[in-house]
Amino acid sequence: MVAVDPVICEEAHALREQLNEHNHRYYVLDDPTVPDAEYDRLMQRLQQVEAQHPSLKSTDSPTQRVGGQALSSFQSVAHEVPMLSLENAFSDEDLIGFDRRVTERLKLPGALTYACEPKLDGVAVSLLYREGVLVRGATRGDGATGEDITENVRTINSIPLKLQTDTPPGLLEVRGEIYLPRAGFEKLNTEARAAGEKLFVNPRNAAAGSLRQLDSKITASRPLEMAAYSLGRIEGEEQPEAHSATLDLLRSWGFLINPHVEVAADIESCLSYYQKMAEIRDQLPCDIDGIVYKVDNIAFQQRLGFVARAPRWAIARKFPAQEEMTVLKGVEFQVGRTGAVTPVARLEPVFVGGVTVSNATLHNQDEVARLGIKVGDTVIVRRAGDVIPQIVSVVLDKRPVDALDIVFPNHCPVCHSPVERVEGEAVTRCSGGLICSAQRKEAIKHYASRKALDIEGLGDKLIDQLVGQDLVNSVDDLYRLNREQLTGLERMGSKSAQNLLSSLEISKHTTLPHFLYALGIREVGEATARSLAQHFGHLEALYSSSQEDLQEVCDVGPIVAHFVHEFFQQADNLEIINRLRAAGVQWPDITPQDQQLLPLSGQTWVLTGSMETMGRAEAKEKLQYLGAKVSGSVSAKTSCVVSGTDAGSKLKKAEMLGVEVLDETAFLALLTAHGLL
């Protein structure tokens, strides 16, 4: 074999060290110090060097994370130290009982210290390191024997291929959970849906499925993460005296440790930790199904030992389930503003993910076919995070003999016009257009809604009556309503009629973003309407814009450009706009701006509490003017929270998640700095 030039050896070594360091900063610390392009350059250089000098390749090289040769089967792995499971607690009393048993067994006079950890909902794994290098990854299996998934775990970026220490223990077995963050799960399913493939039921199944791949290149394409939560074995180094110190040691070696792990001085603090985590559960980036409490002192753990297949020193307190079974009682078809006919499942009410769910969308015909669902079926409903409830699967074993097929109507359930399905689209639409009272009603509801023209007092029931009695056919008719017509309606006294007429007057003074949103152009939501308004400045500029011009607007792709262009090409739509303007609807023009250059573009802000100097709507518009998105809930992705007086749970969440918080004075200073005050 030809010896490799020592300079090249040195370079390869240095590249690996740098790439491992950047990888750790990016995937474990979430704090990268170099741009992606620089990482890619280093990686390319290392790949080049290894290709030219194959003897330099090694299994712990960062180039090996992309997956390798497919296997024909997985080998089995015997766990020298069995991988146990946990006893469950379902209430505060169960947890207090656990603490009492443990304290009595240890004959302790005082309170016990516990490590409190999120119970991550993924797949348990064991990772083996020899002299600091990852040599094996295995599933838990039945606890005694698992499967060798080394090739697959190597592709997971948050797993160190080499420990970050110059003095690694001779042997180390680390245990933890591999999981798929919710964003990755949604992305995988969006892609699968578009490709007409089978969807994953939940992030845990998706993580398990991704690890079960014989071809590690497939695993490499899934954005899996791993958090370490315990030590299986260690040789050549003393285990720290506390579990929490063990996690600190693992963190220092490069493992990801869940950022919400805390040490509680007594069982009362454990109970409040549970409450705190239950509150922020929906905002976390990954599914957790409970909290694991572990006696922190390792000597105590050893004294307590095990029962059957679970340790006496730990317990899992479960959260309310995010998936439950219920029965599909029927399906109704709803017609939306754009004519989309959506099947809505009527369910036997079921408590899931903290709320009672009795309806769930079935999206469209493809989704119904994919689920293979029938009326009468027992189904699994999932509600997790901020996502609306979904039916994820059918329990076929429980299908009754008289289960009924879901038949899509050929005619609109409201106006009876034929329904049509455009080639390549999943949605079935009513062809009635404005003949269809359902579409008209929805268009008017949208126009009057808070984010559009915000017409106070014009609620859904009133719109149903106005359209039902032919008083309003299109939005401009609203401005021709008079007091006599209104007082003739159900539950409408002269005072309410007067109030509504005043609200209609007030609504005439609007802004271009609100007006554009109110028009109900397909695929144009609040944010797109704002981008369009800020880019073009005035409505006429939109009339004459081509699809190419439109695609220059931030976040506008070919689909949105197509719908916007089509909307302004239709004479009927221009006619309605003219009639609205003739009725007095008006807005100031805007000085066009380049979205990407706005000071807060790309950031998400949250407003909470009340401010003395301005209302929430005004504060929101100012932030949006500076390019920020304004959201109603705090999550790890929130850039900043503006907190007025009487701020409640949002402020608490922000503090827990370590999100920056500005008080009113600081917020006003920011606005002044940008010339908005």
* Per CB under 6 A, 231 contacts ligand IVH: no
Min CB(261)–ligand IVH separation in Å: 8
Q: Which is nearer to ligand IVH, 306 or 351 (CB)?
A: 306
d(CA 126, CA 146): 9
CB of 360 closer than 8 Å to CB of 381: yes
CB of 103 closer than 8 Å to CB of 112: yes
CB of 641 closer than 8 Å to CB of 605: yes
Min CB(288)–ligand IVH separation in Å: 8
Q: For ligand IVH, which residue of 230, 246, 507, 638 counts as binding (CB under 6 A)?
A: 230
Q: Which is nearer to ligand IVH, 136 or 346 (CB)?
A: 136
**Containing H/E element for 643?**
strand 640-643
Q: Which is nearer to ligand IVH, 229 or 517 (CB)?
A: 229
Q: How many helices (H) and strands (E) does the chain have?
A: 24, 24
Min CB(294)–ligand IVH separation in Å: 7
Q: For ligand IVH, which residue of 43, 124, 207, 455 counts as binding (CB under 6 A)?
A: 124
Q: For ligand IVH, which residue of 119, 162, 441, 446 counts as binding (CB under 6 A)?
A: 119
333 pairs with which residues across the strands?
A: 343
Q: Which is nearer to ligand IVH, 117 or 664 (CB)?
A: 117
| Window contacting ligand IVH (CB under 6 A); options: 112-120, 194-202, 642-650, 663-671 | 112-120
13 pairs with which residues across the strands?
A: none
Burial of 559 (0-12, 13-18, 19+ CB in 10 A): exposed
* Per CB under 6 A, 426 contacts ligand IVH: no
128 pairs with which residues across the strands?
A: 136, 173
| Window contacting ligand IVH (CB under 6 A); options: 105-113, 116-124, 267-275, 590-598 | 116-124
3-state secondary structure labels for all residues of 194-235: HCCCCCCCCHHHHHHHHHCCCCHHHHHCCCCEEEEEEEEEEE
| Window contacting ligand IVH (CB under 6 A); options: 102-110, 118-126, 196-204, 426-434 | 118-126
Determine the size of the site formed for ligand IVH (CB under 6 A).
13
d(CA 394, CA 338): 30
Footprint of ligand IVH on 371-410 (CB under 6 A)? none
Q: Which is nearer to ligand IVH, 85 or 221 (CB)?
A: 85
Q: Which is nearer to ligand IVH, 124 or 458 (CB)?
A: 124
Min CB(23)–ligand IVH separation in Å: 23
Q: Which of 234, 228, 226 is nearest to 81 (CA)?
A: 234
Q: Which of 167, 172, 204 is nearest to 185 (CA)?
A: 204
Min CB(146)–ligand IVH separation in Å: 11
* Per CB under 6 A, 120 contacts ligand IVH: yes
Q: Which is nearer to ligand IVH, 12 or 250 (CB)?
A: 250
Footprint of ligand IVH on 259-318 (CB under 6 A)? 292, 311, 314
Q: If you write DSSP's letter for every residue of 327-359 in order, what string do you get? A: EEEEEEEEE-TT-BEEEEEEEEEEEETTEEEEE
Q: Which is nearer to ligand IVH, 294 or 446 (CB)?
A: 294
CB of 200 closer than 8 Å to CB of 188: yes
Min CB(291)–ligand IVH separation in Å: 8
- Residue 119 is a catalytic residue: yes
Q: Which is nearer to ligand IVH, 292 or 381 (CB)?
A: 292
d(CA 410, CA 173): 61
Q: Is 178 helix (H, G, I), strand (E, B) or coil?
A: strand
Tell me which of 57, 107, 119, 441 is the catalytic residue: 119
Min CB(268)–ligand IVH separation in Å: 21
**Containing H/E element for 179?**
strand 171-179
Q: Which is nearer to ligand IVH, 384 or 651 (CB)?
A: 384
Q: Which is nearer to ligand IVH, 292 or 519 (CB)?
A: 292
Q: For ligand IVH, which residue of 59, 85, 283, 547 counts as binding (CB under 6 A)?
A: 85
Min CB(122)–ligand IVH separation in Å: 7
Q: If you write DSSP's letter for every residue of 45-107 in order, what string do you get? A: HHHHHHHH-GGG--TTSGGGGG--SPPSSPPEEE-SS-----EEE-SHHHHHHHHHHHHHHHT
| Window contacting ligand IVH (CB under 6 A); options: 82-90, 197-205, 579-587, 601-609 | 82-90
| Window contacting ligand IVH (CB under 6 A); options: 17-25, 119-127, 456-464, 656-664 | 119-127
Tokens standing for 42? 């280093």
| Window contacting ligand IVH (CB under 6 A); options: 79-87, 141-149, 349-357, 545-553 | 79-87
Min CB(310)–ligand IVH separation in Å: 7
Min CB(80)–ligand IVH separation in Å: 15
Q: Helix 558-569 vs helix 571-582: angle between axes, to the nearest 10 degrees?
A: 70
Q: Which residue is nearest to ligand IVH (CB)?
A: 124
Q: Which of 161, 201, 203 is nearest to 178 (CA)?
A: 203
| Window contacting ligand IVH (CB under 6 A); options: 16-24, 81-89, 149-157, 578-586 | 81-89
3-state secondary structure labels for all residues of 91-151: CHHHHHHHHHHHHHHHCCCCCCCEEEEEEECCEEEEEEEECCEEEEEEECCCCCEEEECHH
* Amino acid sitting at position 9: C
* Per CB under 6 A, 177 contacts ligand IVH: yes
Q: For ligand IVH, which residue of 4, 9, 34, 86 counts as binding (CB under 6 A)?
A: 86
Min CB(542)–ligand IVH separation in Å: 52
CA angle 413, 417, 419 (to 5 degrees): 75
**Containing H/E element for 23?**
helix 6-27
Q: How many residues can be counted in the chain?
A: 677
Min CB(119)–ligand IVH separation in Å: 4
d(CA 403, CA 294): 47
Q: Which is nearer to ligand IVH, 259 or 592 (CB)?
A: 259
| Window contacting ligand IVH (CB under 6 A); options: 84-92, 335-343, 344-352, 375-383 | 84-92
Q: Which is nearer to ligand IVH, 117 or 225 (CB)?
A: 117
* Per CB under 6 A, 533 contacts ligand IVH: no
CB of 131 closer than 8 Å to CB of 157: no
| Window contacting ligand IVH (CB under 6 A); options: 83-91, 97-105, 473-481, 515-523 | 83-91
* Per CB under 6 A, 239 contacts ligand IVH: no
**Containing H/E element for 384?**
none
Q: For ligand IVH, which residue of 4, 66, 84, 590 counts as binding (CB under 6 A)?
A: 84
Footprint of ligand IVH on 15-74 (CB under 6 A)? none
Count of beta carbons in the 10 Å neighbourhood of residue 473 = 14
Torsion of CA 427, 432, 438, 444, to 10 degrees: 100
* Per CB under 6 A, 229 contacts ligand IVH: yes
Please identify every residue annotated as catalytic. 119
Residues that bind ligand IVH (CB under 6 A): 84-86, 117, 119-120, 124, 177, 229-230, 292, 311, 314
